[in-house]
Amino acid sequence: MKIVFIGAGRLATHLGPALCRAGYEIVQVYSLTKESAQALARLTASEPVTDLQQVARDADVYICALKDDVLPRILPELCKGREEALFLHTAGSVSMDIFQPYARHYGVLYPMQTFSKERQLDFSEIPVFIEANSTTTFSVVESLASSVSHKVTPLSSDDRRYLHLSAVFACNFVNHCYDLAGQLLEEHGIPFDTLLPLIDETARKVHELSPREAQTGPAVRYDQAVIARQSQMLSGLPHDIYELMSKSIHERNND
């Protein structure tokens, strides 16, 4: 099958080469920026384009790896004249039915992982959640997903939104806490890698214990003296995050 990537961001930078290694032909990469289109095109031996009018009309699959707010703006023009092709998006929080007014065959291929262009990942270990608007289309999406991942699971749009929300808590918010911790350490000349053994053990524990069982720290017992003292130490950092998180940890572990 001939595949066109619409978008050349972090996710596409990993998914595109994975599909190439699986034997699929990436014929084009579209991006608003020439540099992004060229960068992914080099990785996938494909043609970079920056104008929707230049996007191939004879591809079998169009994979939209775009920001959520860009997708509805681009679909009317993208799908026009290509109604028989398969259209997929890769978003966690966007319904599959966003394609319904414009395409006959559509679905979702959502790899749940945090992607950075600078880091190599084993895509076969990434969980991929899929959905399609018909049984026939589902078979094609499942084949695509299974060619790059050993962990493919059907999931509805409604359930996928909650999966994505949980990922925001488990990944994005946690990483923001790393960033705040890093700022605290930097202000006092302590290297961030001092925390890495703690971070690694915290992650390892939840492979064996539930997150609630693994929770430790002053907020579990709601040690108000420690919490008040530490809150006062947060000069230039958000007190409200510390206080709300401490209260939430206490309530979750004492309900």
pLDDT score recorded for residue 63:
98
Q: What CATH number is attached to the domain comprising 179?
A: 1.10.1040.20
Has residue 237 got a pLDDT over 90?
no
Q: Of 155, 179, 203, which one is at a domain's C-terminal end? A: 155
Q: Given a cut of 80, is residue 10 above it in pLDDT?
A: yes
Mean pLDDT of 183-204: 96
**CATH number, residue 9:** 3.40.50.720
Say if residue 209 is in the same domain as residue 125. Answer: no
pLDDT bin (cut points 50, 70, 90) of residue 235 is: confident
126 with 217, same domain? Answer: no
pLDDT of residue 32 exceeding 80, the answer is yes
| The predicted structure's pLDDT at residue 236 | 82
Measured CA to CA, the distance from residue 1 to residue 24 in angstroms comes to 6
H helices present in 92-187, as ranges: 135-148, 157-167, 174-187
Confidence (pLDDT) at 214: 94
pLDDT, mean of residues 159-171: 96
DSSP label of 131: E
Residue 41 structure tokens = 């095109």
Which one-letter DSSP state was computed for residue 31? Answer: -
Name the pTM for this structure.
Answer: 0.92
pLDDT at 126: 98
| Total domains, the chain | 2
Shared domain for 150 and 169, answered yes or no, is: no
